Structure 1
């Protein structure tokens, strides 16, 4: 059974942690400032490759951003690739800085 938790310290730096059978199986490194959620890195333990755990973490990231009215800055290559692959699915939470 999988469970996912968002863990933040007093400076709003932390992780989205994924547990499988009560053992940490993956995580996303994140930080929040103002209304922006930065995701730096996604990692799933090798023994869990192919189980869709990175997708579970991505889903939690996006739902958390929506619940808290945050925009995501996808600094993580995995998250950025997913956003680029399906921009319509993530357009409401994807922060794209406009260039003047």
Structure 2
């Protein structure tokens, strides 16, 4: 099974398709600024779950964020969990520059 992922900026999401089919098998919605990309929702078709579609979405989106020098805010539970299991992407996570003082 081949998963193809593309960024669709006008829709503010990454889309995954399986084996060249036109039907979208999964999406990762985002909000993007010049410095940050926040992943807010990920959804994979029920018939495609467990087949690597979500992982392909995450890996492609995060690789593109790295290439664009963007920090990542993973508000989506899927992205947060995926990054926690893949330490090679944890350096992308956004961290507030201000410290809370007591």
TM-score range, shorter chain: 0.7 to 0.9
Q: Secondary structure at the match of 1:4?
A: strand
Runs of 4 or more, structure 1, over 4 Å off, are: none
Equivalence for 2:13: 15
5+ long unaligned stretches in structure 1:
none
1:34-73 pair list within 5 angstroms: 34-73=34-73
5+ long unaligned stretches in structure 2:
none
Max Rg structure: 2
Alignment: residue pair count:
96
1:55-94 pair list within 5 angstroms: 55-86=55-86, 88-94=87-93
Taking structure 2 as the reference length, the TM-score comes to 0.84
Do 2:84 and 2:90's aligned partners in 1 also have CA atoms closer than 8 Å?
Answer: no
Higher helix proportion (structure 1 or 2): 2
| CA deviation after TM superposition for structure 1 residue 23, in Å | 1.6
Equivalent-residue separation in structure 1 for 2:85 and 2:6 (angstroms): 26
Do 2:14 and 2:28's aligned partners in 1 also have CA atoms closer than 8 Å?
Answer: yes
Equivalence for 1:5: 6
- Cα-to-partner distance string for 1:34-54 (whole Å, 9 max, x where unaligned): 210010011000010110111
Supply the RMSD in Å over aligned alpha carbons.
Answer: 1.5
Equivalent-residue separation in structure 2 for 1:24 and 1:82 (angstroms): 21
